Amino acid sequence: MAVHDIVVVGANFAGLGTAHYLLKHTIPALEKANGNSTAYKVTLISPSTHFYFKIGSPRILASPDLIPFSKAFLPLKDAFKEYSADRFSLVVGEAVSLDEEKKSITVRDTYSTTAKNSTVRYSSLVLATGATANSPLWNLKGSHESTMAALKEMHASLPKAKTILIAGGGPAGVETAGELATIYPKASITLLSGSTRLLTRLRPAISAAAESQLNNLSVTVIHQSLKVVENTTGKSTNTTLHLSDDTSRDVDIYIDATGTRPNSDFLPSHWLTKSGHVRTEDKLTLRGPVSSVYAIGDVAGYSLGNIFDINDAVRPMCSSIYQDLSGKKPTSKPFKQNTAETQLVPIGPNGGVGAVFGWKLPAFAVKMIKSKDFMIGQAPKTVSGEQFAKA
């Protein structure tokens, strides 16, 4: 029997959700539609043996006691044990190149000390590689061990730090400033927004409320596009920073929360937009730049970089795969992007600002939804695919 290999590259929110949905719903529907004439197998390529719940990273980096590693880093090996070996396989390594003609991906072992590569061939390809931050504190790039090491260094340095500078006025920067100011009230904490205000995806009044809460925690917020031009040592501790106003600052801790770049270096350049994102030719169906290629999440051109653009896209994209492989009608409605003002930003365990679908939320609502534990209870559900148990 012929085997159709569906390869999913990336094992964070987008990749895990896609793999589980394909295995639970799409493949059984394909086998029924095609009369079991073709076997289907999902291969998940992950640079790490573990999933990292990056939503909780501001609290995870602030203290090892609030969200322990055992809750933040979850192994992938048991997440797919319900599926047989002829239905699913996990390949641990980083995709480093792709041969479009041969439909193959070269994968580098991220846990080996030597250059150890393997080749994975695909019939259909789902690109869910996400985006990488400038600091390993925020997400995985390669093995989970590098992020763990960066977090451990931060945990060791924070109790002794007198001066902390955080660059980036988005959610990660604001949340981290709130966490550190709560735990280390004696430290001098400065947040460079890099813009004219904080949280630019939210309305100005909510931005102002966030700044007011930070000020109440004795955080100094600086705007006017003042940015870090150079970190002279390249380290996050005991370093000198050169700023865009030609001044320098010596700080005990520097945290770079200035944004991300798509993980697409291994892909053909004609698949990508100018910003390096994978072209999604049809945003309604998540089909990619060429036949049998699909893109989802932060690496995809349609994405606004939020969790809704992942969770709301899994079913429509898998439906496109079903339609392309069966020739039958799609099993899901087209993707509909949520463009309403939606963002929840904790500021310490008891504060925060945010809006949901255009409705401004009071601080107590943000606390109940996210601030109390940064939604860490969602981590095991993400790994197990629980949220996609139903088609």
- What is the pLDDT at residue 87? 96
Report the chain's mean pLDDT, rounded to a whole number: 95
User: Is pLDDT of 225 > 80?
Assistant: no
Q: Phi/psi of residue 273, each to 5°? A: -80, 175
- What is the pLDDT at residue 63? 96
User: Is pLDDT of 194 > 80?
Assistant: yes
Rounded mean pLDDT, 186-215 = 97
Q: Which of 208-212, 235-239, 299-303 shows the lowest mean pLDDT across its residues?
A: 235-239
Sheet arrangement for strand 352-356? 343-346, 352-356, 359-360
pLDDT tens track for 72-98: 999 998 899 999 999 999 999 999 999
pTM of the shown model:
0.95
Do residues 61 and 149 lie in contact, with contact meaning Cβ atoms separated by under 8 Å? no
pLDDT tens track for 306-364: 999 999 999 999 999 999 999 999 889 999 999 999 999 999 999 999 999 999 999 99
**For a pLDDT cut of 70, what percent of the chain falls above it?**
100
- What is the pLDDT at residue 137? 95
Q: Please name the residues in contact with 112: beta carbons below 8 A apart, sequence gap of 6 or more.
A: none
- Provide the pLDDT confidence category of residue 367 given band limits of 50, 70 and 90: very high
177 or 259, greater pLDDT: 177
Per 3-state DSSP, the chain is made up of helix, strand and coil in percentages (nearest 5) of: 30, 25, 40
Q: Which helix (H) or strand (E) holds 356?
A: strand 352-356
Integer Cα distance of 53 and 61 in angstroms = 12
- What is the pLDDT at residue 64? 95
Helix axes 171-183, 204-216, angle to 10 degrees: 20
**For a pLDDT cut of 90, what percent of the chain falls above it?**
89
User: Is pLDDT of 232 > 90?
Assistant: no
> Using CB atoms within 10 A of its CB, is residue 183 exposed (0-12), middle (13-18) or buried (19+)?
middle
| Type of residue found at 326 | S
User: Is pLDDT of 282 > 90?
Assistant: no
User: Is pLDDT of 34 > 90?
Assistant: no
Helix axes 308-326, 13-21, angle to 10 degrees: 40
- What is the pLDDT at residue 386? 94
Integer Cα distance of 307 and 345 in angstroms = 14
pLDDT tens track for 96-130: 999 999 999 999 999 887 778 999 999 999 999 99
CA atoms in the 13 A half-sphere facing the CB of 249: 21
User: Is pLDDT of 214 > 80?
Assistant: yes
